[in-house]
Every structure is written in C-alpha cells, then in structure tokens.
Chain A
C-alpha cells in the first residue's frame, strides 16, 4: 500500500463538553473515492471542518501527504490541495457564475491579489472559468448572478468552485442535499465525469450517490467509526444495518 494522502489519527472534538467525535481514525489512499455516511448528528460535517481547517480538534492529528496540517488555517490547507464544498450552499452572492468561478481560479493561479493588471484583460483566467462552468453544465448561464439560478444549478456551481481550484483531495459535503431525483442523477453523471484520478471524500445521505461514487465507505455513528469497507461489506454489516440503513429503509 502506498502512503496515504490523508490520515486522521485519533481525532477528538467536543462542543461545550458534548463529545461529537471520539478517537476517529481514517486513511485515504491517493485516487481513492471514499463515502462517509452516518445518521444525523454522527459528526460528519464536524469531521469535514476538522480536515479543512474550519475547526481545530481537541486532540489527535491530521496529516495531508504525510505533513501535519492540524493547526493550519483554512486558506493554507486549501493552498496545499484540500478543496471542499458546503452542505449549506456558500457562494459569492451578487456575482455571476463566471465571477464566482473566477474567484477560485485567480487564487489557484496565484493571481488573487494582483494590483498591477486589469482583471478584464486576463483572458486566460476568463476562459478557464468558462471551461469549469461548462464542465458542470453551466456554460449557458455564465453571466447570470447566483441568486437568479435555480437551486440545482447553484449546487453545481458550488462543485465547480471546488474543481476550479484543482485540489488533490476533493471533499463534498452533501452535494445532493435538496436536489430532486432527476437533478441527483445529473449530479452523479457530472461528478463521475469530472473527478478523474483525484481523491474524493464524499459525505452524503443519498445512498444512490454514495454507491455510485465510492470505492469504500466509512460509517460514522455517535462520533465513532462504526464500520469501514467496500459498499458490499458495509451493506452486509449487521451494526450498520441496525443504526443506519435500517432507519433509511423506513
């Protein structure tokens, strides 16, 4: 086995005394696609925030490509190659689709705060932004502001922002939340087309999305890793069926 791209060691986090994560360990191999599932309140989003820098753990370590990133701020981790989407949509309101994606590309190309060039003359940036909009099927609405887009398109824009920073590790936090069945199918197709060889950590409630996009699945329950394995193994796991899949089948 090669060196893991992401390694979580013994992560523990409590909110005002209430433990949310307890000694969570996780190893992601480069190129792996990992689904992270668990009932509401299992600590999935907290785990995403610990990995991306939104929160600091109370104990434990986070290694990205073998280097500790446990105490780095979010923007430093982003620059190292960790990109995330948001469960609750987080876009640049008042800006167009193109401008939103451009924000990600400017930063990724190291031109985010250039003061000596006109932004409108940076054609390579503009066309790259248009390229990413096309990737997620937003090529026809480049100049529409975010608020005027239907929710499903806003979801895809959120993912375009992650892709545009070309991260080695893509973390998607419930990308299908609030989408209709048809929109979810579209989303799966888009993601299968664009993720390529990158490493994926996918937090999702919709099991269709998880099964379609994951090589392996980790199940989180009450802040602990309950099970880990291939989709078939997890599906067959007694504990998992009891706490999670059983509930979902109701």
Chain B
C-alpha cells in the first residue's frame, strides 16, 4: 500500500528534473552540429546519385581483384614476386577464415592442408610436368579436401578449445611427417627443381615458367575463380545459410532437423580444399617447397594475416596477407627485430580495431556517408 501512496509523488518529481538541464546544450551542442554537417552533406550528395555509385560492399571486391590483376603492368619484378606469394597466402587466409568466421572454430593446424597440397603439387609437377597446371592444382586441392573430410570428422565434433587443440595436434603431426620423411619431402632441404621447363596452361598452350608475370597471372586465373566459387557457395546458397545458422545456434539448428555435424564437416572440407588450392598455387609460384609451408608457425601466421585484414569481410584476409608480406619485407629491412614490432602492431590491432583493416575502411566509408 505504501508503494501506491508514494507513486504520485514520484510522478510529480520526474518531469521537474528536465532532461535538457543535464545536457550542456550551449557550446558543445553548437560545435556538435558543425562537425556533423560535413558527413551529412556527403550523405545527401551520394544519396541523390545513388544509381551511379555501387555500394561499397559490391565495389570493394571488384576494386581489390582489379588491383591484383593489373599489378604486373605497373609494379617491379620484385614486387610481383612478393605479390604472387601474398595472394596465395591470402587465399590460404581466406580458407582459414571460412572455418573461423563461418563456423566459429579457431584452427591451429590449418597449414597442414596448405603444406600437404604444396608438397603434393611439387611431386605432381615432377611426375606429370606436361599435364595442364590447372588440372594438377585441382588434383592437389582435391587431395587436401579429402584429407579435410577425414580429419574434419574428428575435429568438428569438438567445441571451442577442444577443436583448437585437436587441430594443433594434427598440424604438429603433419609438420613432423614432412620433417622426418625426407625421402619424399626432402626433409630440411625441401623440394627444389620440380618446375618443368614450360608450364602447360591448357593442353597445347605453354607458358614460359621463368616469365614472372605469366606465372602470376596463371596463379590468379585459378586463384580468383576458386575464391569466388567458395564465396558464392557461402554467401548466396541455402548451404551457406545453413553453415551460418549452425554457427549462430547449433542446438536450435539440430532441433529444426539440420544435421549440424555434416554441415560443419562440409564447411571444414571446403576450407581444407581451398587451402589446398592455395598451397598448390604457392608451390607453382615459388618453385620451392620447404617445411616452412607446413610448420606450426605458419598456422599462426595465417591467424595474424586474417585478423590484420579483418575476419568480418570475406576478402579481408586477402588484404591482411598482402599487408603482412609488404609490412614484414619493409620492417625486416629496417630492423632485425621486426617480429617484435609486428607483434606489437598486431596486438594493437586486435585491441583497438578488432575489425582489422577492412573494418577500419568500412567504418571510415560509413563516416563519410558513402553508400
């Protein structure tokens, strides 16, 4: 009863404490509007011309791919050499992110798929150098996908840290195998001299394998369609929708009739296959395969690349890989302790810009009022 008596009293008092009095409406308010004016101008400018400007989401992948394709026309040989490496690592980072972002699982052994396919591609080129390269890359990628299917069956049943630990063990196993089984992998020496004199792009269409730009474009001609195909699968189809549904709420998906294990396994297999394509292309581009492509450090490097570029955007890890390669090249020329500085930059990125480079660009884009 006492509550009811006090209620009118409260009602009387609340409007009296006018909310405007708490806000310094004068100076700060004026300044606020003048700052806000500019973006609003841009917003209206672009809104009126909406039809002429495709949205940032649609435009940015096209721009990114165009830059990658046209780079050999302007960049130096050394830069193209680096860029060739970077795009292969970029596709690898995208494949890592397919598990991380789309299934919410953090793999510590993803280099196993990249490395196995890289070694596989080297051995394939040694044996069947006259076969068309796209076929050999698809074979290596298919092998990695098959491996992913078998290993994923063990991994994706586990949640969170247990998944990560299982993938770590698998990564360690494949690194040891590559290290010890030197009759096949060359051990610490790696594999060398497997490139045939001329690469067959298609039967009867050879390319000079020492022509750097040609190799780069050959790599891109397989890399971009592979990346686009995986994107289309995940972004456009009911399958991609199911993968996201399982990440968002696995329990509910199960009770709606989704076989969540198979869906996670399919996504893991897709990522393993794409990592395999990346590894095989890297072997073609690099003409040398060593344990660097399969060790545990490499499995963590790909995590750094992914976060650097931004895991929230499908193509973000590609940017991360390019920036990582360029940054480490530049920093290592400046200081021998470049990894410390890179590590600090990475920590800062995770703390202050968890969306990575693509997240920063997207928020700047929005702040300018662009579509």
How many Å from the CB of A118 to the closest CB on chain B? 5
Interface residues of B in 228-242 (CB under 8 A from A): 233, 236-242
Instruction: Say whether A113 contacts B238, CB under 8 Å.
Output: yes
Assuming A92-B245, A106-B242, A119-B241, is B256 touching A161 (CB within 8 A)?
A: yes
* Residue total for B at the interface (Cβ-Cβ under 8 A): 25
Instruction: Say whether B256 contacts A103, CB under 8 Å.
Output: yes
Complex CA gap A217/B235 in Å reads: 47
A84 within 8 Å of B (CB atoms): yes
When distances are taken between beta carbons in the complex, the residues of chain A under 8 Å from B236 are: 118-120
B288 within 8 Å of A (CB atoms): no
Q: What are 9 residue pairs bridging A and B, where the CB atoms are less than 8 Å apart in the complex?
A: A78-B255, A107-B256, A107-B257, A107-B258, A113-B238, A113-B266, A114-B239, A119-B236, A165-B256
Instruction: Say whether A75 contacts B259, CB under 8 Å.
Output: yes
B180 within 8 Å of A (CB atoms): no
Instruction: Say whether B260 contacts A111, CB under 8 Å.
Output: no
A135 within 8 Å of B (CB atoms): no
- Which of A53, A94, A106, A122 has a CB less than 8 Å from the CB of B248? A94
Q: Can you add 20 more A-B contacts, CB < 8 Å, to A95-B245, A165-B257?
A: A54-B255, A74-B254, A74-B255, A75-B254, A75-B255, A75-B259, A78-B255, A79-B257, A91-B249, A91-B252, A92-B248, A92-B252, A99-B241, A103-B242, A103-B253, A108-B257, A112-B238, A119-B236, A120-B236, A165-B256
B263 within 8 Å of A (CB atoms): yes
Complex CA gap A117/B240 in Å reads: 11
Interface residues of A in 70-84 (CB under 8 A from B): 73-75, 78-79, 83-84
Instruction: Say whether A90 contacts B237, CB under 8 Å.
Output: no
Instruction: Say whether B249 contacts A92, CB under 8 Å.
Output: yes
Assuming A75-B257, A112-B257, is B252 touching A117 (CB within 8 A)?
A: no
Q: Which residues of B contact A (CB under 8 A)?
A: 233, 236-242, 244-245, 248-249, 251-260, 262-263, 266
A104 within 8 Å of B (CB atoms): yes
Q: Which residues of A contact B (CB under 8 A)?
A: 52-54, 73-75, 78-79, 83-84, 86, 90-95, 99, 102-104, 106-108, 111-120, 122, 161, 165
Complex CA gap A52/B254 in Å reads: 10
- Which of B233, B237, B245, B266 has a CB less than 8 Å from the CB of A103? B245
- Which of A73, A78, A91, A119 has a CB less than 8 Å from the CB of B238? A119
How many Å from the CB of B206 to the closest CB on chain A? 35
Complex CA gap A116/B238 in Å reads: 9
How many Å from the CB of A215 to the closest CB on chain B? 25
Assuming A78-B255, A93-B248, is B260 touching A106 (CB within 8 A)?
A: no
Complex CA gap A117/B237 in Å reads: 6
When distances are taken between beta carbons in the complex, the residues of chain B under 8 Å from A120 are: 236
When distances are taken between beta carbons in the complex, the residues of chain B under 8 Å from A107 are: 242, 256-258
How many Å from the CB of B238 to the closest CB on chain A? 4
Complex CA gap A48/B321 in Å reads: 49
Q: Which one of B242, B254, B257, B258 has the highest number of Cβ atoms from chain A below 10 Å of its Cβ?
A: B257
Nearest neighbor of A112 in chain B, beta-carbon distance: B242
Complex CA gap A83/B245 in Å reads: 17
Complex CA gap A52/B239 in Å reads: 24
Instruction: Say whether A95 contacts B255, CB under 8 Å.
Output: no
- Which of B240, B253, B255 has a CB less than 8 Å from the CB of A52? B255
Nearest neighbor of B262 in chain A, beta-carbon distance: A113
Instruction: Say whether B237 contacts A161, CB under 8 Å.
Output: no
When distances are taken between beta carbons in the complex, the residues of chain B under 8 Å from A108 are: 257
Q: Which one of A99, A102, A103 has the highest number of Cβ atoms from chain B below 10 Å of its Cβ?
A: A103
